[in-house]
């Protein structure tokens, strides 16, 4: 509560020069993951207020996750209580476009002079482009990485970071022998079945193909068997994801595999140990691909007031601009999807922050973070989540049987003829 009150206090402060005084306009804004992004918006808001003192940004309650964010927007669309701007996971944009909730940004972009010079370019805009129109401007991009407590690793005589999941399992054995009670956490419970997709893309195979849940082949079975092995042979504890991040931060876990997005939060809570990040391990070698995580800013306002819509656009554009995107990198572990931020504002940043450079070095591996098509996409996410959890808690050991069960359940929820 104190944290939210402090954040609200920062957001409320504004200096309004008389020459710039205009009639106030208020916009509503909602974003996910307060523990990651509160500090980011604490930096961005004062800069925005200095430039646009007549615009008040009302921050709504934060979304618990990307799934929660999408569910919330779908409910608010029915109740008529949508915010003006919402941050949504890159894999959850399509459903809001399909349902007519997210507005095209093309009318606003058309009025901007030299829009691409602000750092946007086709590769970035494609992430939020549907039917030829931009509906979302990417705010942050992440990739999975390894987090390592080098003090605990040294205690077990481990001097090299693991390159494969076989290496991880061997490290787990060495760490346990050295008295480390919890050697590893693998982020199976991260949003959007992201780590299942990471195992599939590591084999250069999409999780969804031609509208089907694409795990029937050898790659799918390998993905499930890899999860089973690291859960069992590392004797991984079934930690809720916030508890896992906290446990690693205070020095209780030796190896954690998670999104680079949490690096800022981990560093802020870090205990007295040497932290090092490393490339995400592969199955038989380096991964052939990895899914892009992150979120984008979408205009979902139902206002017909041109001033409010213009204010919402100014906020949306500002937070995804070069300076706004740079603050994402400074305060989190996300990479800014903005050329101006990476090439100009952050020119020396990654050399000075090598733990944040790990994900940048993996950018050539970036692949789509896929969503499940149709109205049941969120339900499918939950079914797969429950299936993976059954491995974690020891309920499922036959991976071929589990795969078949999940394929059958998912198939029933996919759109007919997809």
Residue 66 belongs to some domain of the structure? yes
Same-domain pairing of 346 and 213: no
Residue 418 belongs to some domain of the structure? no
Same-domain pairing of 281 and 331: no
Residue 323 belongs to some domain of the structure? yes
Same-domain pairing of 88 and 169: no
Q: The CATH number of the domain where 189 resides is what?
A: 3.40.190.10
Same-domain pairing of 276 and 169: yes
Confidence band, pLDDT 50/70/90 cuts, at residue 10: very low
Range of the domain at 77: 2-142+294-366
Distance of CA 4 to the CA centre of its chain: 21
Instruction: Name the one residue in this structure whose structure tokens are 């804004």.
Output: 29
In the chain, the N- to C-terminal Cα span, in Å, equals 46
Same-domain pairing of 384 and 343: no
Domain-terminating residue out of 330, 349, 366: 366
Confidence band, pLDDT 50/70/90 cuts, at residue 16: very low
Same-domain pairing of 109 and 234: no
Same-domain pairing of 79 and 148: no
pLDDT score for 21: 54
Same-domain pairing of 132 and 209: no
Looking at 20-29, 295-304, 365-374, which range is the least confident one? 20-29
Same-domain pairing of 208 and 280: yes
φ and ψ at 357, to 5 degrees? Answer: -80, -20
Spatial separation of the C-alpha atoms in residues 158 and 139, rounded to whole Å: 37
Same-domain pairing of 237 and 198: yes
Q: For 17-67, how does the pLDDT look when each residue is reduced to its tens digit (9 = 90+)?
A: 443 457 999 999 999 999 999 999 999 999 999 999 999 999 999 999 999
Same-domain pairing of 267 and 336: no
Same-domain pairing of 185 and 119: no
Domains: count for the chain:
2
Residues near 79 by beta carbon (within 8 Å), at least 6 away in sequence: none
């Amino acid at each position: 509560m104190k944290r939210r009150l402090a954040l609200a206090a920062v957001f409320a402060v504004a200096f309004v020069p008389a020459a710039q005084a205009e009639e106030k306009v208020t916009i509503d804004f909602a974003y996910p993951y307060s523990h990651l992004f509160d500090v980011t918006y604490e930096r961005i808001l004062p800069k925005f207020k200095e430039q646009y003192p007549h615009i008040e940004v009302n921050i709504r309650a934060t979304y618990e996750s990307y799934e929660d964010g999408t569910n919330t927007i779908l409910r608010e669309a029915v109740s008529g209580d949508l915010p003006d701007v919402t941050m949504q996971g890159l894999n959850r944009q399509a459903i809001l476009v399909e349902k007519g909730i997210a507005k095209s940004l093309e009318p606003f972009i058309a009025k901007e002079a030299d829009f691409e010079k602000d750092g946007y370019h086709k590769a970035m805009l494609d992430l939020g482009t549907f039917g030829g129109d931009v509906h979302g401007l990417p705010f942050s991009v992440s990739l999975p990485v390894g987090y390592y407590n080098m003090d605990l690793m040294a205690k077990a005589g481990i001097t090299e970071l693991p390159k494969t999941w076989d290496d991880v399992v061997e490290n787990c054995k060495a760490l346990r022998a050295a008295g480390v009670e919890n050697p590893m956490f693998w982020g199976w419970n991260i949003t959007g079945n992201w780590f299942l997709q990471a195992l599939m893309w590591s084999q250069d195979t999409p999780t969804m193909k031609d509208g089907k849940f694409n795990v029937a082949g050898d790659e799918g079975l390998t993905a499930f068997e890899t999860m089973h092995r690291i859960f069992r042979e590392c004797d991984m504890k079934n930690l809720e994801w916030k508890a896992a991040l906290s446990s690693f931060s205070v020095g209780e876990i030796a190896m954690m595999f998670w999104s680079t997005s949490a690096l800022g939060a981990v560093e802020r809570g870090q205990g007295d140990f040497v932290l090092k990040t490393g490339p995400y391990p592969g199955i038989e070698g380096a991964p052939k691909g990895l899914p892009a995580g992150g979120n984008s800013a979408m205009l979902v306002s139902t206002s017909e007031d041109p001033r409010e819509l213009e204010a919402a656009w100014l906020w949306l554009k500002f937070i995804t601009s070069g300076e706004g995107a740079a603050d994402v990198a400074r305060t989190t572990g996300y990479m800014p999807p903005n050329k101006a931020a990476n090439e100009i504002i952050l020119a020396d940043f990654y050399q000075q922050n090598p733990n944040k450079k790990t994900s940048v070095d993996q950018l050539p591996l970036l692949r789509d973070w896929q969503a499940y098509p149709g109205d049941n996409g969120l339900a499918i996410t939950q079914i797969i989540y429950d299936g993976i959890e059954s491995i974690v808690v020891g309920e499922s050991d036959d991976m071929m049987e589990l795969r078949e069960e999940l394929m059958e359940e998912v198939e029933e929820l996919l759109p007919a003829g997809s």
